[in-house]
Copies of this chain bind each other. A is one copy, B any other.
Amino acid sequence: MKIIIGNHIEHSILKLSNDDRIFSQRVIWFAEDGDLIILPSKPDMQFLQHVTSLTGVDANSLKFFVTSNNKSNEKHFDPQALYEEQFINSIRKEINNVTQVLPMWPSPAIAHFVEKLSLSDKLQGASFFLQNGVELVNNKAYFRVFATAAGAPIADGRVCHSIEEAELAIRNLLSINDAVMIKQAHNGAGAGNELLIRDKSLGVGHVGAVHMHVLSTANDPIKSYLDSRWNWASANGKRPVIIEEFIPDAKTIYAEFFANDEGVYFTGSGRLGYTNQRLVTEIAPLRGISKEVETKLTTYGESLAKFYQSIGYRGYLSADAVIEKDDNIVFTEVNSRVGGSLHVYDSIANKVVKAKEEPERTVVQYHSPLNWTPVAFETFHQFLEDNNLLYDSSKRKGILISLPILLEVGGYVSFCIVYENEQEEKQYYSLLDNHFSTKKLYL
């Protein structure tokens, strides 16, 4: 049996999002018969039923634990529970022959927890994680340092430990380009990136940056920008800030690996699609890029994976890159954790769909389109059923629900379309969008 822990980056590293109950339950995709799963709150039974019907797991064989029975605390995984004797003892009673401990974010609390359960040998890298190694290997500032040693190409830019260093770096980059990226050391899906541009007309919709700032025409606009945004960028002075050249018309791709004591293993690759600077789609496996780019991605990606393995990290890691116009690629970060793609490219594309078997399939996950009306799980599921859109394992096509849909958390929908060609994908999407969109816009 595995112990799967649906935790996430901790408050000491990054301010928590409002509610993690949806995202934490993606771990159900990783379950096998008999696994024990720790979540912030009880799993959504409809989602559990949906996922296990696709993965072929016996839902009744899974044991669930929650870090809080207190309604007011259930929005977030509470790492404090992992230090509590009573909680540890209740889990100790339920485990035998544990083969692996699989946390989403291998924090010191996790390392302490496995030590107390005498399971440190089932979490490779436990002593590294006990010293908060996970913070280091998810830090975009130190990524730029490590990439130089691993020999992976990175965008022109600097790591800035003070507002003065940032001012100099921005000034230098804006002297050769009309835009720069300002990046927080920790954050994901573009939420930690801000694009600073001279001119509003620049084409920037594809960029993974939630924030955008147009330089004022005032005296010393860089200084006044930093005066207003340095605290955001540096997490109130807590972290270094990355200043990078802006790469026009870039596509975002990734290669993931699994690192263990023996080495690193390629586990999958895919593409992220940003619309209006917001992460909208995740596509797996990787399609529609040149052989040359794919080779660069996996070769340099493997160098980075080996580097992170050599400094002590164990577990899944994703090397993210953007493709420049001329088929060059530059790497932007390494995420050393179970990120938002593993269930898409591995659980769904590799295992449920077997996407690389003939006839080949592609999986695209959409995250809760902004102009959709909130729905309940059963409403969405019923619509798929009624319109014969539900994923059909005999045809290896259709739509499946990739994350819980919880009305109390906003009724957002995350789903995957499994398709043979792009026209088919558009048809599936249009059917959904026509029904659930409030504005009837095709994104």
Question: Known contacts being A128-B149, A237-B238, A240-B132, is A165 close to B311, with CB within 8 Å?
Answer: no
State whether B161 touches A145 (Cβ < 8 A): no
Contacts of A168 in B (CB 8 A): 83
Tell yes or no: A282 within 8 A of B by CB. Answer: no
Question: Known contacts being A11-B162, A144-B131, A159-B131, is A149 close to B312, with CB within 8 Å?
Answer: yes
- For A192-223 the 0/1 string (1 means CB < 8 A from B) is 00000000000000000000000000000000
A131 touches which of B10, B127, B135, B158 (Cβ 8 Å) = B158
* A274 smallest CB distance to B (angstroms): 25
A312 touches which of B148, B158, B160, B240 (Cβ 8 Å) = B148
Which residues between 155 and 179 of chain A lie within 8 Å of chain B, taking CB atoms? 158-162, 164-165, 168
Which residues between 121 and 167 of chain A lie within 8 Å of chain B, taking CB atoms? 127-128, 130-133, 135-136, 141-142, 144-149, 158-162, 164-165
A311 touches which of B10, B146, B238 (Cβ 8 Å) = B146
Contacts of A162 in B (CB 8 A): 11-12
Tell yes or no: A276 within 8 A of B by CB. Answer: no
State whether A164 touches B128 (Cβ < 8 A): no
A12 touches which of B13, B133, B149, B161 (Cβ 8 Å) = B161
State whether A164 touches B312 (Cβ < 8 A): no
A72 vs B108: C-alpha distance in the bound complex, in angstroms?
47
Contacts of A240 in B (CB 8 A): 132, 135
Contacts of A160 in B (CB 8 A): 12, 132
Contacts of A13 in B (CB 8 A): 161
Q: Which residue of B lies closest to A154 (CB)?
A: B131
Tell yes or no: A90 within 8 A of B by CB. Answer: no
A136 vs B108: C-alpha distance in the bound complex, in angstroms?
20
Q: Which residue of B lies closest to A149 (CB)?
A: B312
* A125 smallest CB distance to B (angstroms): 8
Tell yes or no: A236 within 8 A of B by CB. Answer: yes
- For A217-258 the 0/1 string (1 means CB < 8 A from B) is 000000000000000000011101000000000000000000
Tell yes or no: A310 within 8 A of B by CB. Answer: yes
Majority-rule SS of A interface residues: helix
A307 vs B146: C-alpha distance in the bound complex, in angstroms?
13
Contacts of A147 in B (CB 8 A): 131
A13 vs B141: C-alpha distance in the bound complex, in angstroms?
14
Contacts of A131 in B (CB 8 A): 144-145, 147-148, 158-159
Question: Known contacts being A149-B311, A312-B145, is A108 close to B237, with CB within 8 Å?
Answer: no
Contacts of A161 in B (CB 8 A): 10, 12-13, 132, 135
Q: Which of A128, A133, A149 has the most CB of B within 10 A?
A: A149
Q: Which of A142, A145, A148 has the most CB of B within 10 A?
A: A145
State whether A130 touches B149 (Cβ < 8 A): no
State whether A148 touches B165 (Cβ < 8 A): no
Contacts of A238 in B (CB 8 A): 237-238
- Identify 28 residue pairs between A and B in the complex whose beta-carbon atoms are under 8 Å apart, listed by A's number: A10-B161, A12-B165, A83-B168, A108-B158, A127-B148, A128-B145, A128-B148, A128-B149, A131-B144, A131-B147, A131-B158, A131-B159, A132-B145, A132-B158, A132-B159, A132-B160, A132-B161, A133-B145, A133-B149, A145-B312, A146-B311, A148-B312, A149-B312, A237-B238, A238-B238, A307-B311, A310-B310, A311-B311
The interface of chain A, by Cβ under 8 A from chain B, is 10-13, 83, 108, 127-128, 130-133, 135-136, 141-142, 144-149, 158-162, 164-165, 168, 236-238, 240, 307, 310-312
Sample of 7 further A-B pairs with CB below 8 A, known A12-B161, A135-B161: A128-B145, A130-B148, A132-B240, A135-B240, A146-B311, A236-B237, A307-B311
